[in-house]
Amino acid sequence: MKFEMDHMNINTIDLAKSDRFYREALGLKEKRRKEAKDGSYIIVYYVDFNDNFELEITWLRDHPEPYDLDDNEIHLCFRVKDYEKALALHKEMGVVCLENEKMGVYFIEDPDGYWIEIAPYR
């Protein structure tokens, strides 16, 4: 039996900020969205240039306070060919929250506090 990764979900309190972040910081594009008829939620699915894994971002009308991310040990990882150029972009955006030079990776933080690892192809 083979399993194929499909998507990962995170929640946001400000969909517009998250949309801007994921488009500008990581070049993701919206693939589709679902909106509740009563306005209680919006779910947006984003993909990278490969279009084979989706990031699902959910906004819930009745959850306006920040999410408790505890130790924030769960994270996404994106690989990039031009690591130095990506790092410069993210520093310019002010979203770098941790650089680990020994491991050769860094993390950026989205508007809701989720960490995203950026790693070079090796």
* Positions marked active-site: 117
Residues in Cβ contact with 52 at an 8 Å cutoff, skipping those fewer than 6 apart: none
φ, ψ for residue 81, nearest 5 deg: -75, -45
Q: Which amino acid is at 94?
A: G
d(CA 77, CA 99): 14
DSSP designation for 67:
P
